[in-house]
């Protein structure tokens, strides 16, 4: 897989998972509403995927060392991977009780991060546990903080 495609895919996957998990955990904590969580996932899948794709596009152009094709590959793969991975979180919310769906989403997201980081570490011939641990800790910190922010926001209603 070419570097430009790997960049877009890995950025989109990681950002899509962590951003979506943070959003749905925070929205669940503050509203306990399926409709709000579903709306949040759809907004993240579109708006944040477009925003991150543009961010990667500009970043790659700024480096001034990538071909136009490489810039667009990174852009497109960032958008599609973030869009698709964000949308996967909608499935449990549609079919399960919201509190159960949130737990399933957290497990799903952390599992995807673990699998991807294991694969990435193996590709780079480094020990997977360090990479996995580091990235899981960051994701868990986001989840915990957004949960408490959601609880705090709920006190205003």
Report how far apart, in Å, the C-alpha atoms of 113 and of each of 14, 131, 152, 154 are.
7, 10, 28, 29
- Determine what percent of the chain is predicted with pLDDT higher than 70: 100
pLDDT for 29 equals: 97
pLDDT of 144: 98
- Asked if 12 and 78 touch (Cβ cutoff 8 Å), the reply is yes
Where does the pLDDT of residue 91 fall: very low under 50, low under 70, confident under 90, or very high at 90 and above? Answer: very high
pTM for the model? 0.93
- Exposed/middle/buried for residue 6 (C-beta within 10 Å: 0-12, 13-18, 19+): middle
Which string of DSSP letters, residue by residue, matches 95-118? HS-HHHHHHHHHHHHHHHHHHHHH
Rounded to an integer, the average pLDDT of 106-119 is: 97
CA gap 116, 30 in Å, rounded: 30
Q: What is the mean pLDDT of residues 99-105?
A: 98
pLDDT at position 72, please? Answer: 94
Q: What is the pLDDT of residue 157?
A: 78
Residue 2, pLDDT score: 87
Which of 17-21, 62-66, 140-144 has the lowest average pLDDT?
Answer: 62-66
Query: How high is the mean pLDDT of the chain?
Result: 95
Name the pLDDT band for 112 (thresholds 50, 70, 90).
very high
Within 10 Å of residue 143's Cβ, how many Cβ atoms? 21
- pLDDT tens for 26-85 read 999 999 999 999 999 999 999 999 999 999 999 999 999 989 999 999 999 999 999 999
What is the structure's pLDDT at 1? 72
């Amino acid at each position: 897989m070419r570097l430009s495609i790997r960049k877009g895919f890995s950025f989109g996957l990681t950002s899509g998972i962590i951003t979506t998990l943070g959003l749905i955990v925070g929205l669940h904590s503050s509203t306990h509403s399926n409709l709000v969580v579903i709306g949040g996932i759809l907004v993240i899948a579109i708006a944040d995927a477009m925003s991150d794709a543009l961010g990667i596009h500009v970043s790659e152009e700024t480096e001034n060392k990538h071909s136009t094709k490489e810039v667009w590959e990174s852009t497109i793969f960032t958008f599609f991977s973030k869009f698709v991975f964000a949308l996967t979180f909608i499935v449990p919310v549609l079919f399960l009780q919201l509190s159960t769906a949130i737990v399933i989403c957290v497990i799903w997201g952390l599992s995807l991060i673990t699998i991807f980081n294991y694969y990435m570490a193996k590709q780079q011939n480094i020990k997977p546990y360090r990479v996995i641990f580091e990235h899981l800790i960051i994701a868990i910190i986001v989840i915990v903080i957004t949960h408490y922010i959601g609880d705090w926001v709920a006190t205003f209603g």
